């Protein structure tokens, strides 16, 4: 009887048969996608996350605008056509158009490494000189008194310390010095640190707020959470620092999130839109005839300090401006311009 061997059967190898080991051909890793290369280039230069998000968004729009063509196949005409479309059809502001241009210049210079002469010839849109909206002291008081809880405390710091909204949201416990009445702003705009004033009126409410945040943090630790994101490579240098009290956000979010890379249950800082919505609603309830936002408190901080006779260089340092000319825009409400001039109509027509 013949033995039938099916394809799936195994049979013993005859002795003394050499075993041949075939080397598998190495699989070359797939090159990263273009937008991933943009993110990598931004992080290599320690760019902020907001810049990274903005650049990726503009580059994606640029590619879609030209029918998903690869940017390496395009040049000055395509960039100019895209920017013109933003201005003519999209009617975007000059600052928005310049932001899109900066994203494309970053793409060609630092990602595609194309040193093209036309990059320097692309014309940037001229930004109009806009005067900031400034609230009077009574208007500041009216708006802040319409706020409650955490938004009210944050608005007090925005006005009392001249903070940007994101700078306030990113404050950590160790950034507050109650003894010297100072706030340390870490990695502010332009990746700079600075020191500003802690208003005395905010010290007691802030201390009570920190007590509540600490109780919440201790409860998080008891449930296996309590982690926060650390800047740059500090998490590798200090593995447990993310659970320590000094690194916690002063204004934490109300919910956890799960970080897949580390497996940690973390809290992010309170999202800035929470304060934005609260301030806009407070301005409406205060019945102000001004279009005020959280950033208006920073404008008012600088203007009121100059009204009180503070040196403009001091105000520049508190705001973190690179150039004093940026700070000088707040002198428009002082008695050095139109506000200090008596109209000839008051002399001629006054009965």
Query: Active-site positions?
Result: 164, 189, 295, 298, 321, 330
Residue 230's Cβ-side half-sphere holds a number of Cα atoms within 13 Å equal to 20
For residue 171, give both structure tokens. Answer: 């404050």
Residue labelled with tokens 């409410």:
205
Q: Are 106 and 55 in contact (CB under 8 A)?
A: yes
**Per-position b or e across 85-106, b if 16+ CB within 10 A of its CB:** ebeeeeebeeeebbbbbebbbb
Measured CA angle at 229 (ends 227, 233), to 5 deg: 120
For residue 329, give both structure tokens. Answer: 């825009």
In Å, how far from its chain's centre is CA 322? 18
Residue labelled with tokens 């230069």:
45
CB burial of residue 216 (10 Å; 0-12, 13-18, 19+): middle
**Per-position b or e across 8-26, b if 16+ CB within 10 A of its CB:** eeeeeeeeeeeeeeeeeee
Cα separations in angstroms, 53 against 38, 49, 138: 10, 6, 38
Residue 311: partners with Cβ closer than 8 Å, 6 or more residues away: none
DSSP conformation letters of 177-232 = ETTTTEEEE-S-TTS--EEEE--HHHHHHHHHHHHHHHHHHHHHHHTT--B---ST
Q: Are 319 and 159 in contact (CB under 8 A)?
A: no
């Amino acid at each position: 009887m013949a033995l039938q061997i099916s394809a799936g059967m195994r049979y013993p190898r005859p002795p003394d048969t050499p075993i041949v080991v075939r080397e598998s051909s190495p699989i070359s890793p797939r090159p990263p996608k273009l937008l991933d290369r943009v993110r990598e280039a931004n992080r290599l230069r320690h760019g902020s996350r907001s810049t990274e998000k903005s650049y990726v968004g503009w580059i994606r729009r640029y590619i879609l605008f030209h029918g998903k063509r690869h940017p390496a196949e395009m040049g000055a005409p395509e960039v100019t056509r895209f920017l013109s479309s933003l201005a003519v059809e999209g009617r975007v502001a000059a600052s928005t158009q310049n932001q899109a241009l900066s994203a494309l210049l970053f793409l060609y210079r630092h990602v595609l490494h194309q040193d093209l002469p036309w990059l320097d010839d692309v014309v940037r849109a001229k930004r109009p000189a806009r005067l900031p909206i400034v609230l009077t002291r009574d208007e500041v008081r009216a708006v802040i008194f319409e706020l409650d809880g955490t938004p009210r405390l944050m608005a007090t710091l925005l006005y009392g310390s001249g903070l940007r909204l994101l700078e306030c949201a990113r404050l950590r416990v160790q950034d507050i010095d109650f003894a010297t009445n100072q706030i340390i702003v870490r990695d502010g705009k332009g990746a700079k640190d600075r020191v500003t004033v802690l208003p005395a009126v905010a010290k007691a409410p802030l201390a009570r707020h920190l007590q509540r945040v600490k109780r919440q943090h201790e409860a998080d630790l008891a449930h296996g959470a309590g982690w926060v994101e650390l800047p740059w490579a500090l998490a590798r240098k200090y593995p447990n620092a993310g659970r320590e009290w000094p690194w916690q956000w002063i204004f934490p979010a109300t919910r956890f999130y799960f970080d897949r890379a580390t497996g940690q249950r973390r809290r992010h800082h309170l999202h800035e839109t929470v304060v934005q919505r609260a301030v806009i609603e407070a301005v409406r309830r205060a019945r102000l005839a001004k279009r005020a936002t959280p950033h208006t408190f920073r404008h008012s901080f600088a203007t009121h300090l100059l009204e009180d006779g503070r040196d403009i260089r001091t105000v520049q340092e508190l705001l973190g401006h690179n150039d004093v000319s940026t700070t000088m825009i707040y002198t428009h409400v002082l008695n050095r311009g139109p506000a200090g001039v008596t109209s000839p109509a008051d002399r001629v027509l006054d009965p």
